[in-house]
Amino acid sequence: MNEVSHMTTVAAATADIGSLFVTRQSVTLRQRVYEKLRQAIVERRLPPGTKLVERDLCEQLGVSRPSLREALRHLESEKLIEMVPHKGSVVAALKQRDVCEIYDIRAALEGPACERFAQLASEDDMASLMQAHAQLCKAASQSDSDGIFRAKTAFYQALFSGSDCAISQVLVSSLNTRAEVLRRMSIARKHRCLQILTEFEPIVEAAQKRDGAAMKASCIAHLEAAKAAALEQLSIVERENTAHDSKRPNKSG
Amino acid sequence: MNEVSHMTTVAAATADIGSLFVTRQSVTLRQRVYEKLRQAIVERRLPPGTKLVERDLCEQLGVSRPSLREALRHLESEKLIEMVPHKGSVVAALKQRDVCEIYDIRAALEGPACERFAQLASEDDMASLMQAHAQLCKAASQSDSDGIFRAKTAFYQALFSGSDCAISQVLVSSLNTRAEVLRRMSIARKHRCLQILTEFEPIVEAAQKRDGAAMKASCIAHLEAAKAAALEQLSIVERENTAHDSKRPNKSG
DNA sequence: ATGTCTAATATTGTCAGGCAATCTTTGCGG
DNA sequence: CCGCAAAGATTGCCTGACAATATTAGACAT
């Protein structure tokens, strides 16, 4: 909690230099507060079950209460925290059933997106996917888990963009945010990095052949493996928490 | 806009009288503001494209700006409105592709939920589903579109509850909210009411037989019909808007 | 020692007022 | 008509305050 640092005054406006069309997208303070808290949650600096006290958060983030409350609304909408009126917020915990359901839903959404991608993707879309895959290979060969994470994000963005499934993209992104703690932890294990490489190879080959059925099947196979890895991590975390709880009798009671 | 009325002072706390376990669930003002605005949007009193001005809304709703802003965050998270920093909010419009995607995603989530329901549902779950279906039949025979709407909501709640698909339920509910304008409009048409009855019959029969595959197939068939009805409504709305726009040259420009 | 009740404390929900930042509109001059 | 500056409108954010609600601490009885 002490590690939630004050925010830097980064320049807010960004311009789309890649085309003649200039769009300005300023970043509000509430968005930055949201991002800071989200990061603290996925990095487990605010672990599941932590009670969030507004006044304390305001002090540590250096922002006013209304701004914080709007950011908490955003976290709540993504189910990263749970709020009960008049009682406050706690960081949400994932149950086993949640993890299973998240990965099943991802399969249900990503599978059809693969089929559409194989049909609809432009050459630019295909190039974006290949670039993301190249980044993934590079990151995996270096066991750079942050790099893997970023490359996967880029990969999925290319997939959903090239298949014109914007709503699915939002939903999958939101589900990924919920499972992000476990995803980061499993990606951080060396042998999982190598597995991911193996799992993405057939996805990409099928995409290039524009074979939607094969791409879908490979994507789903990858998700099954990712689900198993996440469930394993969840077991480990739950065992840690049980050990942790027995060392401090009834303190969290 | 003038029709967004001041809120009544309904008692906030409700207790679960049905069991020995008493849970108190107070309803906050921001939740009530959210609900009021959501209702105004789905009833088209705040039509797509409407600019939402905070000060005006505060005046009409009789609430303070921070409370309104928190409610707007909720509407934003459900994509009912779109906000651009420093420019404000507009009520979101649905495009054809959105409608297609929403129904495809629903099929991808409700199909597997049907399979699980057939496997997992308790006798109580099954009874809840049958009760909802009975209400649906009653409402449809009376061409009571509000009643149909409520019965369908209860039906889906029973389905997701009995299949232990809580996350899918949240996602589907959110998608339904986005499409609610079109759904209400199509349900309001008499011949669509009768079709819905016909479409739900095989779903319910399959559920009773615990035949998951048949239930899934019937559910998906219903969704295909609902999609077609919603797309037809969208065309009608868009034609109205085009006619509307040509009667007022460049006023909304 | 345990249980119950009341008062004190902490926290959330909401309001009011203010000002800075940003965007949009209006008016004037070339 | 176009460009620019000023005025006006609106959003973003802060501060301070108070009501409502939940939790905790302390006192008292058993």
Instruction: Please state whether strand C lies within 7 Å of residue A53 at its CB atom.
Output: yes
Q: Do A164 and B97 touch (CB under 8 A)?
A: yes
A7 secondary structure, DSSP code: P
Instruction: Please state whether strand D lies within 7 Å of residue A70 at its CB atom.
Output: yes
Percent of chain B's residues with pLDDT above 70: 86
**Predicted confidence band at A161 (pLDDT cuts at 50, 70, 90)?**
very high
Flag whether pLDDT at B51 surpasses 90: yes
DSSP assignment of A160-194: HHHTT-HHHHHHHHHHHHHTHHHHHHHHTSHHHHH
Q: Do A74 and B69 touch (CB under 8 A)?
A: no
Write the pLDDT tens digit of every residue in B202-219.
Answer: 999 999 999 999 999 999
Q: Which of residues 51-110 of A touch B (CB under 8 A)?
A: 66, 69-70, 73-74, 77-79, 85-86, 97-98, 101-102, 104-105, 108-109
Write the pLDDT tens digit of every residue in B104-145.
Answer: 999 999 999 999 999 999 999 999 999 999 999 999 888 888
Mean pLDDT of A84-96: 93
Flag whether pLDDT at B192 surpasses 50: yes
How high is the pLDDT of residue A243?
66
Which residue in the block uniquely carries the two structure tokens 């991808």? Answer: B108
Amino acid at A156: Y
DSSP assignment of A54-118: HHHHHHHHT--HHHHHHHHHHHHHTTSEEEETTTEEEE----HHHHHHHHHHHHHHHHHHHHHHH
Average pLDDT of chain B is: 86
Of residues A113 and A87, more confidence is placed in A113
Q: Write down the domain spans for chain A.
A: 1-93, 96-241
Flag whether pLDDT at A2 surpasses 70: no
What architecture does CATH give domain B96-241? Up-down Bundle (1.20)
Question: Taking CA atoms, what residue in A is nearest to B164?
Answer: A97
CA of A250 to C1' of C2 (A): 19
Instruction: Please state whether strand D lies within 7 Å of residue A67 at its CB atom.
Output: yes
Flag whether pLDDT at B241 surpasses 50: yes
With b for 16 or more beta-carbon neighbours within 10 A and e for fewer, the B192-217 pattern comes to bbebbeebbebbbebbeeebbebbbb
CA of A93 to C1' of C20 (A): 39
**Predicted confidence band at B244 (pLDDT cuts at 50, 70, 90)?**
low
Instruction: Please state whether strand C lies within 7 Å of residue A127 at its CB atom.
Output: no
Mean pLDDT of B160-183: 95
Q: Do A70 and B74 touch (CB under 8 A)?
A: no
Q: Which residues of A touch B73 (CB under 8 A)?
A: 70, 73-74, 77
Mean pLDDT of A152-161: 96
Mean pLDDT of A122-132: 97
How many residues are there in chain B? Answer: 253
Cα–Cα distance for residue pair A41/B193, rounded to 1 Å: 47
**Predicted confidence band at B7 (pLDDT cuts at 50, 70, 90)?**
very low
Write the pLDDT tens digit of every residue in A164-208.
Answer: 999 999 999 999 999 999 999 888 888 888 899 999 999 999 999
Give the closest residue to C16 (Cα–C1′). B64
Mean pLDDT of A99-116: 97
Q: What is the dihedral of CA B51, B54, B57, B61, to 10 degrees?
A: 150
**Predicted confidence band at B6 (pLDDT cuts at 50, 70, 90)?**
very low
Q: Any chain A CB within 8 A of the CB of B23? A: no
Least confident of A157-171, B161-175, B191-205: B191-205
How high is the pLDDT of residue B16?
32
The two three-digit tokens of residue A210, written as one number: 């524009």
**Predicted confidence band at B48 (pLDDT cuts at 50, 70, 90)?**
very high
Contacts with B50 (C-beta within 8 Å, 6 or more apart), sequence order? B1, B90, B91
How high is the pLDDT of residue A244?
60
Flag whether pLDDT at A242 surpasses 60: yes
A158 secondary structure, DSSP code: H
Chain B interface, mutation test: which of A94, A101, A169, most B Cβ atoms within 10 Å? A101
Nearest to B168 among A26, A73, A101 (CB): A101
**Predicted confidence band at A22 (pLDDT cuts at 50, 70, 90)?**
very low
How high is the pLDDT of residue B22?
37
Taking CB atoms and an 8 Å cut-off, how many pairs form between chains A and B? 68
The kind and range of the H/E element at A233 are helix A212-247
Average pLDDT of chain A is: 86
How many residues are there in chain A? Answer: 253
**Predicted confidence band at B92 (pLDDT cuts at 50, 70, 90)?**
very high
Question: Taking CA atoms, what residue in B is nearest to A99?
Answer: B167
Give the closest residue to C15 (Cα–C1′). B64
Flag whether pLDDT at B83 surpasses 90: yes
- Chain C bases having any atom below 7 Å from a protein CB: 11-18, 21-24
Mention the CATH class of domain A1-93.
mainly alpha
**Predicted confidence band at A240 (pLDDT cuts at 50, 70, 90)?**
confident
Mean pLDDT of A90-106: 96
Residues 81-140 of A with CB under 7 A from strand D: 86-87
Cα–Cα distance for residue pair B179/B120, rounded to 1 Å: 29
Per the rule left: phi > 0, alpha: psi between -120 and 50, beta: everything else, B250 is: left
Cα–Cα distance for residue pair A123/B233, rounded to 1 Å: 35
Q: Which residues of B touch A79 (CB under 8 A)?
A: 170
Write the pLDDT tens digit of every residue in A199-223.
Answer: 999 999 999 999 999 999 999 999 9
Cα–Cα distance for residue pair B178/B93, rounded to 1 Å: 9
Give the closest residue to D15 (Cα–C1′). A64
| Residue B100, min C-alpha distance to chain A (Å) | 10
How high is the pLDDT of residue A25?
54
Mean pLDDT of B227-245: 84
Instruction: Please state whether strand C lies within 7 Å of residue B53 at its CB atom.
Output: no
> What is the ipTM, given to two decimal places?
0.86
Mean pLDDT of B46-72: 95
Looking across all nucleic acid strands, the nucleotide with the smallest C1' to CA distance from residue A28 is: D12
**Predicted confidence band at A110 (pLDDT cuts at 50, 70, 90)?**
very high
